[in-house]
Chains A and B, each alone.
Chain A
Amino acid sequence: MEEVHEGVRYRPYKSELDLPDIVGQITSELSEPYSVYTYRYFIHNWPELCYLAYDADTGRCAGVIVGKLDQHRMGHLRGYIAMLAVEPAFRRRRIGSHLVRLALASLQQQGCTEVVLETEVTNGAALNLYERLGFIRDKRLIRYYLNGVDAFRLKLWLA
């Protein structure tokens, strides 16, 4: 279902026709390289956890979020935010927060009890965004990224 919030139109993933927008956003903003199969793995298995944001006036893609939902080895359902990117021109408008909230709502609807994600320790903007939403820093992963930077695993308990 679509919604318009503060001049930005949010909608879930519809079809492969959205893939260029998704790939374009992620490739330009994130440091890690992903093949097209990586995108397909997430959005074909969990399309309901992929949301796109468009500027309501220009129709330009402003942001995207991609996630998944899996059974954790302890038995409960664990959500994962795989990718989140917002176009630099559209930042500081809470678009990223809104995309995360949409994904969290969808996860919670499906019975998810906790959500995790990784982000670079130097990514202050992402850390602020997620911590404002209630995520805590669960672990530090040494040399997690290909460029040798450490990562924080952030976790949010929904139950």
Chain B
Amino acid sequence: TEQFKSAACHLQLGELLQHQSFSLYDAMTAIEMMEPKMDSGMRLDREILHPQRSAGGPLMKLSDLTDAELLGVMDESLACLASWLDGESALQSVFINLYLQCIDKIECQPLRTFCHGLLCLLQRAKDVITLANTTDEEDFNPLLYGFEAAAAQAADDERITSALKEADDDIGRQVKAGQLAAGHRLVQHRLRLLRSLLLLLRQFHRMLQAMGGGGSADLPDSALSVTSAAAIDTAELVSPAAAEAAAEVRRQLESASSACASVAASLEVGQPAAGRDDPRLKAYGVQGFEPLANLRQLPPSFPRCVRCSSGQPLCLDCLRQFLTDVTPAACPSYQQLYTRLALVCGLSSDAPCFARSCLRLLYCCPAQQQQLHNYGINLGLGSARLFGRHSPVEFLLASVKQFCPIAAGADLNASVRQLQGQSRQLADSLCLQLGRALLHQVCPLFSRNRSRKREKLAACLDALWPLYESCYCLDRALFPNDECRSLFLPYLTFYLFRLSRLYLLSGFSLQLYARHELPSVYFMLGDGYMYFLLVGIVQADLAIQQQLQLTHNPYTKLSRQHHRYHQQVQTLYQHHLSMLRASNYLATATFYALAALHSDGKMQQLPARTRPESPAHSSTATSPSALPARSITCYTNLQTMWDSRTTFNGELDDSELDEGQQRKPASTPADVYAEATREFEKARDALVKVVNTASSSAGSNSKSAPSLATVCIEDWDGEAMIKVAKTNMVVTKLLAAGHRAGPQHPAELDFSVCPHYPVIKLLAPTAASSTAAAAAAPSSNGK
């Protein structure tokens, strides 16, 4: 140090000593000691518990714990486990229980067994989450910070579950014999809960193994048919081993749920007694818990509050809903597969990481083959399969056929197989890419982490956009003599624009849009996308449908069956299109309303400024070949449309607008309000129709089947949108009639009713708005 100091004296101002293996960039990770913001030790303003020094003391008893103390430790441990599964670091949650760091010293047998069981459960849960690979950094922190060895030692769940049973039985015997207080029966509930959770995970793993290994890997062509008319041997659908394992999982789920309920009913027993004034216990109040014990092992961070959670440790309700109603079997029809996928997506949207991981492993085993092999799961063909049975290509072809049933014809699979040479290669490659993209990228979009979801949507769009041209080429290869017929192109376009719409909508929940960006967002949600979503996509099928109707002969049985078949299969996606159309009307109406509010002076901060990233993601905008030409035209129409509705100088030039977007000459904001009113009315009617249709179809299905209308259109809340449409329709109608016109009655947008579409609220006049109105009076109405 002295040598260093004397050498440093020779440095000039601004000169630095730097070692080649330790740059300034590396030095940024340095922590200044005694700096309160950086040195976590400065927060230690009291004596803290230590696993070695405090063990056996009054604050960390190793034996003779009362039933309340024992319950407190166990309940707090389960709450910490739930917190860890919710994204907290293990050091600040699970391992603040110092008993886990000195298990062998614990003399109280139930507590010792419980701690072993907790570590085992931690390791098992971590295995499931790591295997599923569906979490992001913020959702789950897998690091155990040096406690891996302790967790690995407790990984023998068969031994642990036996020990838990033994401890449970021992307590029962001792309570009966009067050796232990009756309150120890509550301890038995905790031990049973832990045991049932471990058994559940064990059975779950067995079920995954059975799903991957049993039954016929290749289902016949008639499997996953669009209608249920195909005759399929049901023995092929269910693997006996998988069915048996699933039944066992359900039993364990019920057992765990029942134990969970018992624990929840007695939580207050273990909580620290009120009024305890021992300063040493003020920190936490539970034996052996020290939230500051591991602080120095973490980077500088504020300790997060970890308190008893009333939620279940492994989110059993979510799993129960899925496993009770869905057997791990192949699906005989596309409708059933679609419904099941919709259920998975719907449950995943709000499920914590553990439940989401289980769902992911059920519907689509991950691609890490080596990991799967290590865990004893054999996928057979070495590629991911839906629910262990359906290949991505099979899913894709059924999905395409469902989307464009008339253009697809009777046997799409055969048509694809009949292609030769380069066309066949293109078909194989495209089907695999598209199928995998839809399975591996679309389904994991449904998670609670909305920020990452937006990034994943962007990545998904990046993956799908380049396939646009390939889809066009494949359509031409399949139907060389019929240019009107398109299959893969409209299907891909549908998904691309649906994902683009989701990408735009995701910005609302993340509060990414400033007020001046709202017009461009609503424009894209309305006319920008929907114009050729609704025209381009269904064009091919509609043309053929019209042709079929012309040739339909109601007097022949075959023709009537044929006609009925096509009517049935269209229901699935027709409903989607109806929902999208209704959303389109509402977005367009909101755009017009914003234009009117701006021109009326009620919202001055609304000049339409577009984001450089358009239409959905910045990279897509730089590849014009990937975008249909109309989309660029529509996008550039935004500024023109905005200007034409907010500038009133008596000269209107709508010539640049597409037909249908041109409007009649208007001279006042009242006309634009009237236009907005008409659009809101259209939106209301369309939304009411969609919601009524969804209600009637949901009523006819079993109570557990998700509504297709709500699950697969993200963030759809039909009732809220209807409320917005109705309210705004009234407001714009009043404004069109001249009620509270002008800037002296400012308006604001209220997103509390619906997160994506605001309710327009007129505010009381303020001094500022009155002054502004007076200043603007000579040039009001743009004249």
Contacts and interface: CB of A to CB of B under 8 A. Distances in A.
A137 interface: yes
B304 A136 contact: no
B482 interface: no
A16 B13 CA distance: 7
Interface string B447-465: 0011110110000000000
Given A16-B14, A143-B138, A44 B24 contact: yes
A33 B449 contact: no
Interface in B1-41: 13-14, 16, 24-25, 27-28, 30-32, 35, 37-38
A29 interface: no
Contact of A131 (B450, B514, B612): B514
A139 B451 contact: yes
Interface stretch (A2-10, A34-42, A90-98, A104-112): A34-42
B484 to A, nearest CB: 40
A147 B302 contact: yes
A37 B30 contact: yes
A33 B37 contact: yes
A44 B454 contact: no
B511 A137 contact: yes
Interface in A30-75: 32-33, 35-38, 40-41, 44-45
Contacts of B612: 157
B43 interface: no
Give the dominant DSSP class at A's interface: mixed
A1 interface: no
Contacts of B449: 142
A9 to B, nearest CB: 22
Nearest to A131: B514
A88 interface: no
A146 interface: yes
Nearest to A139: B451
A17 interface: yes
A140 interface: yes
Given A15-B14, A139-B454, A41 B512 contact: no
Contacts of B244: none
B35 A41 contact: no
Chain A interface size, under 10 / 10 to 19 / 20 to 34 / 35 or more: 20 to 34
A44 to B, nearest CB: 6
A136 B38 CA distance: 31
Nearest to A45: B24
Nearest to B30: A35
Contacts of A16: 13-14
B607 to A, nearest CB: 13
A41 B517 contact: no
Interface in A102-139: 121, 131, 136-139
B300 A35 contact: no
Nearest to B512: A137
A135 to B, nearest CB: 9
Nearest to B516: A131
Contacts of A150: 451
Contacts of B24: 37, 40-41, 44-45
B296 to A, nearest CB: 15
B513 interface: yes
B302 A146 contact: yes
Contacts of B511: 121, 137, 140, 152
B302 A40 contact: no
Contacts of A141: 451
Contact of B38 (A17, A33, A139): A33
Contacts of A20: none
Interface in B25-80: 25, 27-28, 30-32, 35, 37-38
B321 interface: no
B280 interface: no
Contacts of A142: 138, 449, 451-452
Contacts of B301: 146
A69 to B, nearest CB: 14
A147 B300 CA distance: 10
A15 B13 contact: yes
Nearest to B618: A157
A146 B28 contact: no
A40 B324 CA distance: 60
B25 A41 contact: yes
Interface string B278-320: 0000000000000000000000111010000000000000000
B611 interface: yes
A157 to B, nearest CB: 5
A116 to B, nearest CB: 13
B265 interface: no
Contacts of B510: 137, 139-140
Nearest to A156: B612
Contacts of A137: 510-514
A23 B166 CA distance: 62
Interface in B509-542: 510-514, 517
Contact of A35 (B38, B452, B611): B38
A121 B510 CA distance: 10
B22 to A, nearest CB: 10
Contact of B35 (A33, A38, A136): A33
A127 to B, nearest CB: 8
Contacts of B32: 33, 35-36
A37 B27 contact: yes
Given A41-B28, A45-B24, A143-B138, A136 B451 contact: no
Contacts of B31: 35
A105 B301 CA distance: 36
A22 B302 CA distance: 25
A62 B612 CA distance: 34
B455 A37 contact: no
A140 B514 contact: no
The residue in A139, A142, A152 that gathers the most chain B C-beta atoms within 10 A of its C-beta is A142
Contacts of A45: 24
Contacts of A147: 302
A33 B300 contact: yes
Contacts of A146: 300-302
Among A138, A140, A146, chain B packs the most CB atoms within 10 A around the CB of A140
Interface in B427-458: 449-452, 454-455
B28 to A, nearest CB: 5
Nearest to A114: B612
Nearest to A128: B514
A64 B517 CA distance: 30
Contacts of B14: 15-16, 44
Given A15-B13, A146-B302, A35 B37 contact: no
Contact of B517 (A36, A121, A136, A140): A136
A16 B12 CA distance: 10
Nearest to A38: B28
Contacts of B514: 131, 136-137
Contacts of B611: 136
Q: Taking each of A15, A33, A148, which has the highest tally of chain B beta carbons within 10 Å of its own beta carbon?
A: A33
A44 B16 contact: yes
B451 A140 contact: yes
A143 B302 CA distance: 12
Contacts of A33: 32, 35, 37-38, 300
Given A137-B512, A139-B512, 12 more contacts: A33-B300, A35-B28, A40-B24, A41-B27, A121-B511, A136-B512, A138-B512, A140-B512, A142-B449, A142-B451, A146-B301, A157-B612
Interface of B: 13-14, 16, 24-25, 27-28, 30-32, 35, 37-38, 138, 300-302, 304, 449-452, 454-455, 510-514, 517, 611-612
20 contacts: A16-B13, A32-B37, A33-B300, A35-B27, A35-B31, A35-B35, A37-B30, A40-B24, A44-B14, A44-B24, A136-B512, A137-B514, A140-B450, A142-B138, A142-B449, A142-B451, A146-B300, A146-B301, A146-B302, A152-B511
Interface of A: 15-17, 32-33, 35-38, 40-41, 44-45, 121, 131, 136-143, 146-148, 150, 152, 157
Q: Which 5 A-B pairs have the closest CB atoms?
A: A33-B37, A37-B27, A140-B510, A41-B24, A137-B512
